[in-house]
Structure 1
């Protein structure tokens, strides 16, 4: 009878071996290993807490969900710790970080202790993760604390329900229903974020509508803040710098104008009266047409400091984005952010964080690090990654981003000699920042599976795990995520992990080999358009970046060219400056390399480019084969979804390969190297595909 009940529970929980992806990595399906399940059960039959706030309620609820699904019973709450198997306690631990926790297990009891109830919640999710990944609960002794203070998602959502660069449906936020109705999805969103340590969320697009800080919308924001608070998540808003004119009827938004200053102070007071733990404002100013202080002859420092003064009485933050660049056809957009912000280092108020994209251009397939990470010694800089795949094939290409993030974080800035990695900059070690932050542009939407491509959920998971501990590897994160998401046999797990870990390099090879960059479709940023030479501004064209001609290809950023490489500290500058020793992946970022230039492997630049284009497509074909081997091993709905997307990915990879080879061959005048065959489609045929894909 017991076996029948367990089987029924398994079928109900697992949806009869079909899964729509809604549960993300929080799939509490019955553990099949009966011995392990019994072992876990002995330690989780009863649970007690010594705190009773709203976080305690969601913490108990989560452990009960987990035991019900994973173990087949629901843990009972006890008032006495001595009678409980699992003891959850707010107390004093060695690490004084408010989010730190300790887990210590003995033969009959597991103790999770933290300085705050939020820390206990994180500890519970760590315990659940261990069960989901089938790890032992014997003799646990864990002490964990986040390396980054603010770990946040930034939603580029608009109040009309659209998402800028969103590929998973419409916005999750149903503004027309708020504040009266709370969609249950908001709670599941909060659970997912808390499970990976994310503690902040920006609800709206950085290209911000001023409407979000009106009384009408602040009431809606408050409703979401109330939902997220028990899960340790603070709410932030992007603001339009011209709001005093748009909403307040002022004649100016000049940050040095007394009326403007007072308007923002009044607005901050209004926000915090409604939401006392509001996180702060995110600002995109004087970038891509957005208003900012430079419209009034002021500087980014003037604008940021004015807003910081308004927020300071409430302990609110200003997160000021460094994504700025000017109209300069003879300049180098690469250098713009450094030129604008380095000169003000140390002059920003204490509650300001400068938010810097991982690279100097714009979330390209592979970028060298932004020079600002080694330059801002007195002003905290935040890492901004992009989870949504704006330049990584949208939702039809499988790209696991953890290797990219890991590559960036491990890059040495040489700011204080060798070993001055980006990770040590953003976690505050190197320059002793009082504020630290890592932010990911969200890839979530209204699609039932949250992220469109089922495997893109791993990128959301990665952001939280790496922000908590940037020393965790891409492989470790992949192992966790696969085991939590699919619960499959060891061989299948290794197959999925292999696909994940290779996917980013595969995509890079068939789209942007050797440091080719910014050759995607103009405006929509999908598919190949290396031929784009006209756009609203020169640095939105492809020719501005690849500079292909009869001699070679690439943007010379050495001292013979734009000399943007000089923005790096000497150790990194030397690595990038020598065309003969530079890492091949960054060659065309820093050098206009002759087509005939020999790389260290003996191949010419042209032959190596073509080889990577073709081998990337071959690898995309192999991805299909590897995935096909999983049929019957994972749920049918996910299998068929990914299978179909891989077919589309291969079709689009072939388009990338053929368009790039045919176009660049016009300049190189060199044959496609053996054993590869020249593309059969003409340049005109390949170019016409842009119109087909543009409507997507």
Structure 2
């Protein structure tokens, strides 16, 4: 009984987050502020901005100003300023466009939530990328490819007549972090998406998103003219096909005047495309671009292409697209995955970044954790994305980072964009793992400002998701004397300290919870690399679903480049894929001095060593260890790191509501178990080739290789992998 009473007091007075509010993501703001807001112009977007302030802002009166003077154009319609008047009695949020006002309001509220407000505000911001888009890999039957948070948000069977309230909540969450575009359906698209029936459904969603500054885009199937209308061909140079697309685009814009455009996956993994008719990617993209251009629409054409054959899969996108540089229309942008293979835990950046100088290129990141433990593993992805964005391509001299060559800083392309494959489903907490919400948040914030650090974004997310500083100052300061105590005989005047309890004040939250959870997040990506595929190993995943290790995988009839042995090439000599000048020569696709650095086993960064080289087991590493021993110690380090996350989180129980605490705790147990599974599977498998012992100061494997090789995990049962 005493424990129950303690928990009641704890939850009532200390916790600002209750289980019933978990759907609010990082928008856990007070809703009873009744702030004074001045706005002379009226519109749906400005009404949302004013309403958000009136509910949550607790400072001076705020005036919203849509500026019309030409000098404001340089910030764009999404840029904004926030300034405090000289006397401190008013704050003005101003922008050339209404969307900019909304972004400015959310920024002001974020400063309040995170405790970063200053007495005199003088802020000016504009986004790094013009188009900041979530790619949903959602199917019309509401399944989600590589989705681990329930079914699709889009109730296609109910649309257009019934609109779920979560549609607006989704739009609000995206607007709060600057996301202004959404692709509603899977890149493995069905032609039915462009049918009149489904376009009416898309129109309904576009209507919900529009006031939040979000445009809708659609993935299209390249064979839609033949599949939907019975044309004899879908050849992009055929006159009837070009007319079909023009009429279809006109139909879309009659329904959705602000439609964004198309995302296209073509001639990749069996999908149709222009190469089926002897045409190029440029022919296909330009045909669609010409249809969209009169309406201001764009084409995002994916560079994720590879075909069976002898050529190194890592080279194929570069080989196909570099000869086409400069041949695409101005309203085409090439969407390039961060690495040359496929969203691996670590890859070098794709050599297409910066190399395509006459064609707009956009990064594509994967928010959903297809290769990183689904919704079971805590892996904060901002460090992965920052690693890519900060990589120097040297394509325009030193300092030509991936960020700079894609955001318009180096090449003056009018079209700039960045995409993230969404991790959102209809689960109560949207993303499956409570910490997976941080990756949605981080993608939005980096899309808005690619100079933010991983730590800055983590701090923002933690403060907004697990606390409300203003409310804490009002509530905890008055009641913290009760926290950590138990009631005696039901009388509040008779309390005694609980043995070992901590002082749960705002100060202890800031000195205990915030730094330790931030550190856990910042270390999590590197830990996952260590216990999965360190030193440049890649694609060792189980076949098909990509959960868990199968370095031995050999599926009869499968393409070689779908199998781990294609990538690790382990033998009695060593391990790793030789992409040096004496191997596949993938290094030649990188600009000097990178190509020389990657080409030499002595200068290649050790975290990419086995990506670029087949390295002898006895090769001496910088640590002084052999490659084999380094591999063993790194795997073990990943396991120990995963265990440390579990221990850290266990001490956070006083600071978190019970529901989320136990959800994270349960998943961290799975992650630690999986880390051991990965370590044992990979080391025992590779030991067959190295013939070296596992160092004796490393924990012995708890599995045996035979049983691991015989185990075949079913996707519906991935929480019950080998113990």
Q: Which runs of 5+ in 1 are unaligned?
A: 1-6, 32-40, 76-83
Within a 5 Å distance, the mapping from 1:274-353 to structure 2 comes to 274-328=255-309, 330-353=310-333
Answering whether residue 533 of structure 2 is matched by residue 543 of structure 1, we say: no
2:678 alignment counterpart: 656
C-alpha separation in 2, matches of 1:693 and 1:675 = 35
Answering whether residue 624 of structure 2 is matched by residue 602 of structure 1, we say: yes
Q: Could you tell me whether the CA contact under 8 Å between 1:50 and 1:90 is conserved in 2? A: no
Q: Displacement of 1:20 after TM fit? A: 5.6
Q: Residue 13 and residue 494 in structure 1: after superposition, are their counterparts in 2 closer, same or farther (change >3 A)? A: closer
Q: Could you tell me whether the CA contact under 8 Å between 2:65 and 2:95 is conserved in 1? A: yes
Q: Residue 15 and residue 141 in structure 1: after superposition, are their counterparts in 2 closer, same or farther (change >3 A)? A: closer
Answering whether residue 5 of structure 2 is matched by residue 26 of structure 1, we say: no
1:441 alignment counterpart: 421
TM-score, scaled to structure 1? 0.93
1:100 alignment counterpart: 79
Specify which of 196, 200, 203 is matched with residue 215 of structure 1.
196
C-alpha separation in 2, matches of 1:423 and 1:16 = 36
Q: Residue 17 and residue 185 in structure 1: after superposition, are their counterparts in 2 closer, same or farther (change >3 A)? A: closer
Q: Could you tell me whether the CA contact under 8 Å between 2:545 and 2:715 is conserved in 1? A: no
C-alpha separation in 2, matches of 1:338 and 1:492 = 45
Higher mean C-alpha deviation, range 587-596 or range 567-576: 567-576
Answering whether residue 62 of structure 2 is matched by residue 86 of structure 1, we say: yes
2:582 alignment counterpart: 560
Answering whether residue 669 of structure 2 is matched by residue 647 of structure 1, we say: yes
C-alpha separation in 2, matches of 1:515 and 1:571 = 20
Within a 5 Å distance, the mapping from 1:322-401 to structure 2 comes to 322-328=303-309, 330-401=310-381
Q: Displacement of 1:21 after TM fit? A: 2.5
Answering whether residue 52 of structure 2 is matched by residue 62 of structure 1, we say: yes
C-alpha separation in 2, matches of 1:457 and 1:422 = 25
C-alpha separation in 2, matches of 1:200 and 1:680 = 47
Q: Displacement of 1:19 after TM fit? A: 5.1
1:81 alignment counterpart: none
1:186 alignment counterpart: 167
1:48 alignment counterpart: 38
1:497-555 residue CA offsets vs partner (Å, 9 max, x unmatched): 01100000111100011011000011111100000133521100000000000000000
Q: Could you tell me whether the CA contact under 8 Å between 1:278 and 1:316 is conserved in 2? A: yes
Q: Displacement of 1:17 after TM fit? A: 4.0
C-alpha separation in 2, matches of 1:651 and 1:692 = 17
2:392 alignment counterpart: 412
Q: Displacement of 1:12 after TM fit? A: 11
Q: Residue 335 and residue 105 in structure 1: after superposition, are their counterparts in 2 closer, same or farther (change >3 A)? A: same
Within a 5 Å distance, the mapping from 1:406-555 to structure 2 comes to 406-487=386-467, 489-490=509-510, 491-534=512-555, 536-555=558-577
Q: Displacement of 1:134 after TM fit? A: 1.4
Give the SS at the match of 2:593.
helix
Q: Could you tell me whether the CA contact under 8 Å between 2:75 and 2:126 is conserved in 1? A: no
C-alpha separation in 2, matches of 1:430 and 1:225 = 33
Q: Displacement of 1:455 after TM fit? A: 0.1
Q: Could you tell me whether the CA contact under 8 Å between 2:315 and 2:340 is conserved in 1? A: yes
1:88-118 residue CA offsets vs partner (Å, 9 max, x unmatched): 1101464331111000013111011100111
Higher mean C-alpha deviation, range 529-538 or range 563-572: 529-538
Give the SS at the match of 2:653.
coil
Within a 5 Å distance, the mapping from 1:600-679 to structure 2 comes to 600-679=622-701
Q: Which runs of 5+ in 2 are unaligned?
A: 1-7, 468-505, 719-723
2:103 alignment counterpart: 122
Q: Could you tell me whether the CA contact under 8 Å between 1:13 and 1:29 is conserved in 2? A: no
Q: Displacement of 1:14 after TM fit? A: 6.4
1:133-192 residue CA offsets vs partner (Å, 9 max, x unmatched): 012241010000001110010000000010000000000000111111111100010000
C-alpha separation in 2, matches of 1:96 and 1:136 = 22
2:234 alignment counterpart: 253
Q: Residue 526 and residue 20 in structure 1: after superposition, are their counterparts in 2 closer, same or farther (change >3 A)? A: farther
C-alpha separation in 2, matches of 1:425 and 1:676 = 44
1:37 alignment counterpart: none
Q: Displacement of 1:571 after TM fit? A: 1.6
Answering whether residue 142 of structure 2 is matched by residue 161 of structure 1, we say: yes
Q: Displacement of 1:689 after TM fit? A: 3.3
1:611-649 residue CA offsets vs partner (Å, 9 max, x unmatched): 011111111111111001101111111111000000111
Higher mean C-alpha deviation, range 335-344 or range 426-435: 426-435
1:34 alignment counterpart: none
TM-score, scaled to structure 2? 0.89
Aligned length: 663
Q: Residue 12 and residue 61 in structure 1: after superposition, are their counterparts in 2 closer, same or farther (change >3 A)? A: farther
2:488 alignment counterpart: none
CA RMSD of aligned residues (A): 1.8
1:172-222 residue CA offsets vs partner (Å, 9 max, x unmatched): 000111111111100010000000000000000000011111110000100
Q: Could you tell me whether the CA contact under 8 Å between 2:37 and 2:54 is conserved in 1? A: no
Q: Could you tell me whether the CA contact under 8 Å between 1:163 and 1:170 is conserved in 2? A: yes
1:4 alignment counterpart: none
2:499 alignment counterpart: none
Q: Could you tell me whether the CA contact under 8 Å between 2:35 and 2:53 is conserved in 1? A: no
